[in-house]
């Protein structure tokens, strides 16, 4: 009997999450992204209540002093449960357990040298100090229990711990935030409201520690940060997406995503951003680049078959890249939080750009392979 309150609590959480996933766009009452986002920093590093979905996403590739390689992912999601009076809190007086905001987190560590992928997930309401965004506007701290993301004027610090693995990393931006699409307005479908506000820090010099099975390891390398918020759901005919974030040795970076349709074609909103060494950027339409899978990996856990090697071409820049997963099994199975099974993994890059050899590293995210992705952007 003592477990009953906890059971009811988690049932209510899952019910709220399910309600968020199926709410129709026509009458939902949430704020929507329908045009230029007019992003300003540091203001927009924080939360955007009123929009249904938001995430702060970090990935990186780091190496220890003895050349042991790791990849990591830390993502904290915010989900708004209720659309009513979307920009405000519940009316007062209210229970300290009442909130419109639910926070969910995914954390993974790929021990590339040891060929093992670890992952965990956490979920909590924005109540009683369990989760939320605190700190000043110019230095927000997004936290979820023992996981936190602090965004300062000249650094980011991310911390996350589980019984088996943990990270404590300081990230130094090497470039200004990159606004994807039209000034941060990133289309994800065939109509103006199927869009998100989306920016990235594409190159973050990284130092800190990885803790694995009780061993504290000093590491350094490069990281990538995405921050995105939206209300729109994917179009009904889209199965999922393939997303790439690549950092090349010539100082450039590439973000690209493919929206895969049920008919086997790509949605025309698929796009990307090429960031040049000086920080300038070029928007890439679907006609400007191609990404072709070369080989696949069948998951023994979910039965999904994922691409694990790709060829990327950007003809106008004379760019040809081969992207390889650094570890085949980097599948995330998140039945305890978002309920999504996806592949999120560290990759390496080799190829050429403008006739010169380049190499690099990055991360790839693959959704909709285990089953159709039917939640928000």
Domain ranges of the chain: 34-85+97-366
Query: For residues 142 and 184, is the Cβ–Cβ distance under 8 A?
Result: no
Picking from 308, 273, 282, the residue whose alpha carbon sits closest to that of residue 294 is: 308
User: Is the sign of the CA dihedral 265, 349, 58, 76 positive or negative?
Assistant: positive
Beta-strand (E) ranges in 215-289?
215-230, 238-248, 253-261, 271-275, 281-285
Angle at 184 between CA 358 and CA 236, to 5 degrees: 95
| Cis check: omega of the bond before 27, within 30 degrees of 0 | no
Terminal Cα distance for the chain, rounded: 39
Residue-level pLDDT at 238 = 95
> Which range has the worst mean pLDDT, 37-46, 95-104, 314-323?
95-104
96 band by pLDDT with thresholds 50, 70 and 90: confident
* pLDDT score of 84 more than 80: no
Query: For residues 108 and 330, is the Cβ–Cβ distance under 8 A?
Result: yes
Residue-level pLDDT at 253 = 98
Q: Is residue 17 within a helix (H) or strand (E), and if so which, with residue range?
A: helix 4-22
Other CB atoms within 10 Å distance of the CB of residue 129: 10
Picking from 214, 216, 248, 194, the residue whose alpha carbon sits closest to that of residue 361 is: 248
Burial of residue 66, with CB atoms counted within 10 A of its CB: 0-12 exposed, 13-18 middle, 19 or more buried: exposed
What token pair was written down for 279?
Answer: 């920080």
* pLDDT score of 9 more than 60: no
Q: Is residue 307 within a helix (H) or strand (E), and if so which, with residue range?
A: strand 305-314
What token pair was written down for 253?
Answer: 């970076």
**What gap in Å lies between CA 34 and CA 24, rounded to an integer?**
16
Report CA-CA distances (Å) from 140 to 132, 151, 172, 200, 343: 10, 6, 16, 16, 29
Report CA-CA distances (Å) from 101 to 27, 37, 75: 19, 22, 16
Query: For residues 361 and 247, is the Cβ–Cβ distance under 8 A?
Result: yes
* pLDDT score of 3 more than 60: no
* Report field, pTM of the whole predicted structure over 0.75: yes
Q: Are strands 319-325 and 331-333 parallel, antiparallel or unpaired?
A: unpaired
Residue-level pLDDT at 373 = 75
Other CB atoms within 10 Å distance of the CB of residue 246: 25
> Which range has the worst mean pLDDT, 23-32, 104-113, 346-355?
23-32
Which DSSP state fits 136? -
Residue-level pLDDT at 376 = 55
375 band by pLDDT with thresholds 50, 70 and 90: low
**What gap in Å lies between CA 24 and CA 281, rounded to an integer?**
35
Query: For residues 165 and 147, is the Cβ–Cβ distance under 8 A?
Result: no
Residue-level pLDDT at 4 = 30
What token pair was written down for 28?
Answer: 């939902």
16 band by pLDDT with thresholds 50, 70 and 90: very low
- Maximum alpha-carbon separation in the chain: 69
**What gap in Å lies between CA 23 and CA 93, rounded to an integer?**
27
CATH of 34-85+97-366, one of 2.40.370.10, 2.60.120.680, 1.10.390.10, 2.102.10.10: 2.40.370.10
Query: For residues 200 and 247, is the Cβ–Cβ distance under 8 A?
Result: no
Picking from 13, 32, 18, the residue whose alpha carbon sits closest to that of residue 102 is: 13
Any bridge partners for residue 179, and if so which? 199
């Amino acid at each position: 009997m003592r477990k009953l309150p906890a059971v009811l609590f988690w049932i209510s959480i899952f019910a709220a999450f399910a309600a968020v996933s199926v709410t129709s766009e026509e009458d939902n009452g949430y704020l929507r992204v329908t045009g230029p986002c007019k992003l300003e920093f540091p203001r927009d590093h924080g939360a955007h209540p009123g929009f249904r979905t938001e995430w702060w996403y970090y990935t990186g590739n780091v190496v220890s002093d003895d050349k042991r390689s790791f990849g990591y992912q830390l993502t904290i999601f915010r989900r708004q449960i209720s659309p009513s009076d979307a920009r405000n809190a519940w009316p007062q007086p209210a229970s300290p357990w009442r909130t419109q905001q639910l926070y969910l987190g995914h954390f993974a560590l790929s021990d590339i040298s040891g060929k093992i992928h670890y992952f965990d997930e956490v979920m909590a309401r924005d109540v009683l100090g369990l989760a939320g965004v605190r700190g000043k506007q110019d230095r927000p701290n997004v936290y979820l229990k023992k996981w936190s993301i602090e965004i300062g004027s000249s650094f980011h610090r991310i911390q996350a711990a589980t019984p088996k693995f943990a990270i404590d990393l300081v990230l130094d931006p090497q470039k200004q935030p990159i606004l994807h699409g039209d000034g941060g307005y990133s289309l994800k479908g065939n109509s103006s409201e199927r869009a998100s506000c989306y920016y990235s820090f594409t190159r973050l010099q990284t130092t800190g520690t990885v803790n694995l099975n009780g061993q504290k390891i000093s590491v350094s390398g490069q990281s990538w940060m995405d921050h995105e918020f939206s209300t729109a759901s994917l179009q009904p005919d889209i199965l999922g997406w393939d997303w790439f974030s690549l950092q090349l040795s010539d100082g450039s970076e590439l973000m690209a995503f493919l929206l895969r349709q049920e008919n086997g074609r790509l949605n025309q909103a698929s796009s990307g951003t090429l960031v040049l060494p000086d920080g300038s950027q070029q928007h890439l339409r679907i006609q400007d680049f191609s990404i072709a899978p070369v080989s696949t990996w069948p998951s023994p856990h979910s039965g999904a078959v994922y691409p694990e090697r790709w060829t990327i071409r950007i003809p106008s820049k004379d760019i040809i890249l081969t992207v390889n997963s650094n570890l085949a099994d980097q599948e995330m199975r998140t039945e305890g939080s978002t309920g999504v099974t996806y592949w999120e993994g560290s990759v390496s890059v080799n190829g050429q750009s403008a006739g010169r050899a380049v190499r690099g590293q990055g991360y790839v995210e693959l959704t909709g392979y285990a089953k159709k992705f039917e939640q928000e952007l």
